[in-house]
Amino acid sequence: MSPMENFELLFPITPEGKAATKAVYTRWAAAKAAGTIPDDFVVSKETKARQVRARITLWDADNQNYQDLKNIKIPVLVADGREDIIDNPQNSVIIAKQIPFAWLAFYEGGHAFLFQSYKKLSETVNVFLQKD
């Protein structure tokens, strides 16, 4: 996939999502051309295979990671984009329910909601970090 096709997966297929895709892609391309960031979309086939193995084979091997979530004893904020097509937002609900007293927050946007809804996310993070 081209870098632009990768970016298109990160944002919802809405007018706002398309505008966010274009804006983030433009900033990324300028930073890449200036040499201020690496090209994170170019990874080896071996790296991709390892990621697929970790995500599918190892994660599905047993439920230990899921079971261990209930043992977390520190505050946790689980955040996600409502229109995430890469990781189903329902997964965040499942994770948050497993962690005692976790906060769950959804934002406008897709997998890259933190770029699209960064102001609302930062407000939530500030409140979360200031709580008792």
The residues with which 78 forms a beta bridge, in sequence order, are 104
Q: Which range among 16-25, 56-65, 75-84 has the greatest average pLDDT? A: 75-84
- Percent pLDDT > 90 in the chain is 42
Q: What pLDDT was estimated at residue 68?
A: 94
- Alpha-carbon Rg of the chain, whole angstroms? 17
Give tens-digit pLDDT for 49-78. Answer: 888 888 788 777 788 888 999 999 999 999
For range 20-41, the mean pLDDT: 82
